Amino acid sequence: MVKFTVIGGCGSSDLAKRIAKKLKATYIKTEKKVFPDGESKITIKQIPKKSIVIVVQSTYPPVDSNLLELLSIVSKVRKFSSKVYAIIPYMGYARQDREFLGGEIITIGVVGKLLRASGVKKVVTVDIHSKLALKELKIPSENISAIEGLVKYFKKMKMKDPLVVSPDLGGQERAKKFASLLKTDFIVLKKHRDRKTGKVKILSGKVEVKNRDLIIVDDMISTGGSIVKATQFLKKQKCRRIFVACTHTLLVNDAAKNIKDAGVSQIIGTNTIPGDSAKVDVSKVICDALK
C-alpha cells in the first residue's frame, strides 16, 4: 500500500485535511507569518517520514504569496522524499496560457518552471482553465473534473425545465458535459472581452430561454463581469431563475454582490477555493486521482 503524507498550505488546509482523512495519511500543518514588509515566513510543523508527500495549495489571491508558499513547502520537503506531488486545486495564472497581445508573457509556463525547479514530480489540478495551460506546465499532470459533483448538487435542487448556458465559446465542452449529465440541453453565448480593458460584452442574438430555469456553467468567476453580462442578457429574454455552477469562485471585490444584484439566485462552487459558495467537496475526486 502506498504511504502518503499530506501537507496543507494555508490556502487549502481544510481541503488538505479531508484528503488526508480519505487517504488515511498523516496530516502535517503549516504556518505562515507575514512580516510588515510583506515577506512571509513559512514553517512546516512536522518533518514528513519516508512517503509520497502531497502538498495541497490553491493559488487564489494573494496569488503570488500562495504560490511562493507552495514552492517553499515543496523545496523543504523534497529533502525528505523523492516523490513530492503538488495538488493545486485552483491553478492561478492558467488564463495566461498564450500571447494574446504582442510582448505578453505566458506566465503559466513560468509557474511550471518554478514547480519543476522546486522539486514537484507531479501536479494534480481541478478544471484548469485550458488544456494549453496544462501543457505549458511541462510536468506530469492530471486535470480532474468537478462537474459530476456540481451536477449531483443541482440534481437535488428543484429546477423547472433546466437549461445549461455557457457564457462563452471556450466553455462549450464544459456546458455540454454538464447538460448531458443533468439530462438536459444547453446553449452557448457569444462573449467578447476587450483584451486591453478586460470589459466583457455579450454578442448573441435572441435565445430560447422563456420560462426555464437556467444554470450558467463556467470554470471560474473572478470579477464576475462575465456572469453579470450573461445574466443581464438572459434576464431580458424572460427566463425564470438563474443559477451559476462554477468550479472556482474567486469572487474578487464585489463580484458576489454584483452577480446577485444582476439577478442570480445562487452561486454554487467547490472547495478548491474556500468561502460561502464552496458547496461541493472535491476531496474524493482528488483522492481517486492519487490512488
**Residues recognised as catalytic:** 191
* Residue with smaller CB distance to ligand R5P, 42 or 234: 234
Site string for ligand R5P, 107-146 (x = CB under 6 A): ----------------------------------------
Which residue among 97, 127, 213, 219 contacts ligand R5P (CB under 6 A)? Answer: 219
CB atoms within 10 A of CB 130: 16
- Identify residues 187-216 at the interface with ligand R5P (CB under 6 A): 200
Which residue among 8, 89, 224, 269 contacts ligand R5P (CB under 6 A)? Answer: 224
**How many Å apart are CA 284 and CA 124, to the nearest integer?**
13
* Shortest separation between residue 119's beta carbon and ligand R5P, angstroms: 30
* Residue with smaller CB distance to ligand R5P, 39 or 261: 261
Cell numbers of 116, please?
519543476
SS (H, E, C) 225-240: HHHHHHHHHHHHCCCC
Long-range contacts of 175-179 (CB under 8 A, 24+ apart): 175/217, 177/145, 177/147, 178/147, 178/150, 178/151, 178/215, 178/217, 178/245
**How many Å apart are CA 283 and CA 63, to the nearest integer?**
21
Neighbouring C-alpha atoms within 13 Å toward the C-beta of 190: 5
* Residue with smaller CB distance to ligand R5P, 136 or 168: 168
- 272 belongs to the binding site for ligand R5P (CB under 6 A): no
* Shortest separation between residue 275's beta carbon and ligand R5P, angstroms: 14
- 170 belongs to the binding site for ligand R5P (CB under 6 A): yes
Backbone angles phi, psi at 35, to 5 degrees: -80, 160
Find cell 463556467 and name the residue: 218
Beta bridge partners of 220: 248
* Shortest separation between residue 60's beta carbon and ligand R5P, angstroms: 13
Which residue among 225, 234, 242, 248 contacts ligand R5P (CB under 6 A)? Answer: 225
* Shortest separation between residue 76's beta carbon and ligand R5P, angstroms: 33
- 218 belongs to the binding site for ligand R5P (CB under 6 A): yes
Beta bridge partners of 242: 214, 264
* Shortest separation between residue 95's beta carbon and ligand R5P, angstroms: 6
- 221 belongs to the binding site for ligand R5P (CB under 6 A): yes
Which residue among 96, 143, 226, 249 contacts ligand R5P (CB under 6 A)? Answer: 226
Find cell 507575514 and name the residue: 34
* Residue with smaller CB distance to ligand R5P, 69 or 136: 136
* Shortest separation between residue 250's beta carbon and ligand R5P, angstroms: 7
Buried b (16+ CB within 10 A) or exposed e, 191-223: beeeeeeeebebeeeebebeebbbbbbbbbbbb
* Residue with smaller CB distance to ligand R5P, 212 or 229: 229
Q: Of 290, 286, 244, which Cα lies nearest the Cα of 269? A: 244
**How many Å apart are CA 62 and CA 65, to the nearest integer?**
5
# chain residues binding ligand R5P, by CB under 6 A? 15
* Residue with smaller CB distance to ligand R5P, 94 or 290: 94
Binding residues vs ligand R5P (CB under 6 A): 95, 167-168, 170-171, 200, 218-226
